[in-house]
Structures are given as C-alpha cells and as structure tokens.
Amino acid sequence: MNAPPARLADPYADAEGRLRAERVRADFPILEREVHGRPLVYLDSAASSQQPRAVLEATEHYATTSHANVHRGVHTLSQEATAAFEAARESVRRFINARKPSEIIFTRGTTEAINLVARSWGGTQLAAGDEVLITYLEHHANIVPWQLACAAAGARLIAAPLTPAGELELGAFLELLGPRTKMVALAHVSNALGTTLPVAQVIAAAHERGVPVLLDGAQAIAHQRVDVQQLDCDFYAFSGHKMYAPTGIGVLYGRESLLRAMPPWQGGGDMILSVSIAHSTYNELPWRFEAGTPNISGAIGLAAAIDYLEALGRDRVAAHEQRLLLLATAQLAAIPGLQLIGTAREKAAVISFTLRGVHPHDIGTILDQEGIAIRTGHHCAMPVMTYYGLAATARASFGCYSTEADIERLLAGLERVREVFA
Ligand code: C6P
C-alpha cells in the first residue's frame, strides 16, 4: 500500500496554529507602498479593508475572459457571467450558512441592504403608533432608513441606552421592547466603539414577542464566524469592502418567509417576469430585489474574498485580531491623556480614543505624515458621539494583515503627536 501523501503545511499558520500575519501581508500589494516616505501602516480596515491579490486577480480574470450581462443572453459569455454570479451567491450562502441561495440578495453594501428592508418591509408592515427599536450606537445606515420608514408610516424610532463602557443596557432594552415594537434593528458590532452586542439575547427576547430582528453586520462579518441560522436573525446586512472584497457589493440575507411577503422596492430589468403598460408581474426571490444590471464583478470579487478568508481560517483571524486588540488597548491606555472610548468586555478589533488637548483630526493628520492611516471624526455615528458628549474620536482598526509592528508604529506616531502638542 502506498503511504498517504504528506499533508501540505498551511502557509498561513505558525507552529502553534496562529495566523502568520507577515505571510498574510505578502498577499496585499497595497501594503508595499509608502506614504510620505514611510512604509504604510493601514489601521483603517473598519472603514474599508484592502484587497488581496486573489480578489484583484478574480475580478481581472472575469473582466478579461467572461464579462457580459447576466440572466439575459444565450451567448457563451453571458452564460459564463451568469454562472459565476450565481456561484458567488452560493458562496455567500455557504459563508453565512443561510438555508437557500434565494435568501441572499446582492446590494451595493450594508446601507442599501438596510434601506431595502426599511422601505419594502417597513413600507408594508409599519403603521401609525408602531415602534422600531434600535440602539444609541448605530451607524447612520441603521438610523436614517428607519427614520424615513417611520415618518412615512407615522411610526416612532426608539433607541435603547448604553452603559458608560459602551455596552447595551440590556435591561433597559428589554423594557423598551414592548407591544408597539414591530422591528428591532441593531449593529452586531459597533463601528465607533468596537462593542460586540449581545445579539443572542436580543434576538431571543424579540422573537418571544414575535418581533423580527435585523442585524447590521458591517463590522462583524470579517472578524468573527457569522452563522445566520445559529443567530436566528431575520435579516443580516454586510458590505464586501469591509471583508477584503471590492466596493459596491454587499449582501442582504433575509429569512425566506419574510422576503416572500415583501414587495419589490426598486423596479426595472431582471426583477420582473412580465411587463405590460398596465401591469407587471415580479420575478422569484432573490432577483425580485435586484433591479437592473448588478455588480457582477463585485460579486465575483466577494466570492474570492470569502475563499481567501476561509483559507486564512476565520477563527484564526479572529484570534489574531483579539490578540492585537488586547495588546494595543493596554499600550494605548498607558499614554498620559489618552482616553479609550468604548471599553466593552466583548469587543472587535476597533479602538476609539481621544487625546487630551488634541483634536482627533490633528491626530489623524500627524499620523498620516508618519505613514499611518487611522480614521477620525464621528464615524457616521453621530448619536453615539453625542451620547458620550464627544464631537469626534480617533479610531484605529485592525484586519487580518495587521501586526504588532503596526501597533508599535502607532504608539511612536502618538508620541510624535504628543511632542507636537506639548
Ligand atoms: N462604516 C466606518 O468607517 P456601507 O457604507 O454601506 O458599506 O456601510 C455602512 C455601515 C453600516 N453599518 C456599520 C456598522 C458600518 O460600520 C458601516 C460603515 C464605515 O465605520 C464607513 S462610515
């Protein structure tokens, strides 16, 4: 009998099975560039992550070999494009463990996914006196669409309070979840504070009252395992560009029974079965919610990003980012005058902070001179800034390619900021 083939060593794991971030970095061409004469330190993955070569090559391969419109042509290129596009949908289904590909709707991103639900579900299910329950830490994408839907229906938008550490006040949330609540919509992970929300308890409590739950997964999807069946959420929204895929592609997962009852929200090609001047009939799920030519290349890039993340190992990436979070949190907290904004027990790799006497924009500008990219401002989450009496914070966020060396450069950069403002 032949000996079994030796298992190929996993290039992304070290001897202890931990992520080899230096190896990961080699997959991201942009990380080779310099900014202001210094090697780039990219600590803004929560705003938009970078793309590995595998994603860049997948979209280039599609554009150079198979590009055509989908669902429309009998010709070979259109059939190839359609097959790749629908295969991407199946990749997403598998990635988040949805039951069926028909529960996966491609959108431009998280924002469009939440708008779809607010407009289509909210437009038919909300009535005067109803309430939509969110939290104070939501991104504007999970506030404004609900304001629009509530205004149209005469419903009210209610926000649940937070603790000083940036956690959801679960008791207060449960009190707000009342007979008028028709929808609960909350972030899985906060972009401004890094808090991971207690979504299991929230979903169980909402479902006890027959209330559906939408999770804004923009900041969770690349940083932890997401299983929509295990979560038992009704809607889950995320963006490709925060999980190493291109911009302009995102996903709305919806529970089939809810999606089936929802009317189309945009009209046009591909979402119909028949059209006359007097009347139209609509396509099956998921295409009923995908009017017009979709972002075919983006969907293919997203599928490549999924393959890439799975090759790295999602749990391994999460463990790596948690290690960096702990390390950076301890070191930043030791800087005189630095205040961490958001110190929840359960956090993703996002660190918001202020530095006494220095405007966050000045921190960002000086760090940029050092080649370090962070985000500064209100992070499109103005209510949470107001909640804590802040106009802005500086925010460093990590991804699979972040390293301890990045944290060292950040600390040195902040030392420079303190020198300038001494
Ligand atoms: N947050 C940030 O720097 P879009 O723009 O549709 O891809 O994602 C919107 C969005 C929705 N929810 C959360 C929790 C988010 O973090 C974001 C995007 C970026 O924090 C850009 S403002």
| CATH code of the domain covering residue 383 | 3.90.1150.10
State residue 72's pLDDT score: 83
Reduced to 3 states (helix: H, G, I; strand: E, B; else coil), residue 293 is coil
In this structure, the answer to whether residues 68 and 174 fall within a common structural domain is: yes
In this structure, the answer to whether residues 163 and 231 fall within a common structural domain is: yes
Q: Kindly report, residue by residue over 47-70, the tens digit of the pLDDT.
A: 999 999 999 999 999 999 999 999
Q: Please tell me if the CB atom of residue 375 comes closer than 6 angstroms to any atom of ligand 1.
A: yes
Residues above pLDDT 70, as percent of the chain: 98
Q: Which atom of ligand 1 is nearest to the CA of 113?
A: 6
State residue 395's pLDDT score: 98
pTM score: 0.97
150, 233, 380, 400: the catalytic one is: 380
Q: Which domain holds residue 396?
A: 21-52+313-420
pLDDT bucket at 5, cuts 50 / 70 / 90: low
Q: Where are the beta strands (DSSP E) in 228-371?
A: 235-239, 250-254, 272-275, 280-282, 338-341, 350-355
Asked if residue 3 is part of any domain, the answer here is no
Asked if residue 5 is part of any domain, the answer here is no
Alpha-carbon 92 to chain mean position: 14
Residues 90-108, mean pLDDT to the nearest whole number? 98
Q: Report how far ligand 1's centroid is from the alpha carbon of 384 (Å).
A: 14
Nearest to 174 by CA among 130, 139, 144, 208: 208
In this structure, the answer to whether residues 247 and 375 fall within a common structural domain is: no
CATH value at residue 257: 3.40.640.10
Q: Please tell me if the CB atom of residue 355 comes closer than 6 angstroms to any atom of ligand 1.
A: no
In this structure, the answer to whether residues 171 and 204 fall within a common structural domain is: yes
Q: Which atom of ligand 1 is nearest to the CA of 112?
A: 6
Q: Report how far ligand 1's centroid is from the alpha carbon of 47 (Å).
A: 6
In this structure, the answer to whether residues 324 and 252 fall within a common structural domain is: no
Q: How far is CA 129 from CA 133, 136, 153, 182, in A?
A: 13, 21, 8, 10
Q: Kindly report, residue by residue over 124-165, the tens digit of the pLDDT.
A: 999 999 999 999 999 999 999 999 999 999 999 999 999 999
Q: Please tell me if the CB atom of residue 218 comes closer than 6 angstroms to any atom of ligand 1.
A: yes
Reduced to 3 states (helix: H, G, I; strand: E, B; else coil), residue 122 is helix
State residue 73's pLDDT score: 82
Nearest to 237 by CA among 318, 141, 143, 371: 141
In this structure, the answer to whether residues 404 and 259 fall within a common structural domain is: no
State residue 3's pLDDT score: 57
Catalytic residue status for 233: no
- CB burial class (10 A; 0-12, 13-18, 19+) of residue 21? buried
Asked if residue 2 is part of any domain, the answer here is no
Q: Is the pLDDT of residue 7 over 90?
A: no
Q: Is the pLDDT of residue 367 over 50?
A: yes
In total, how many domains does the chain have? 2
Asked if residue 205 is part of any domain, the answer here is yes
Q: Kindly report, residue by residue over 243-298, the tens digit of the pLDDT.
A: 999 999 999 999 999 999 999 999 999 999 999 999 999 999 999 999 999 999 99
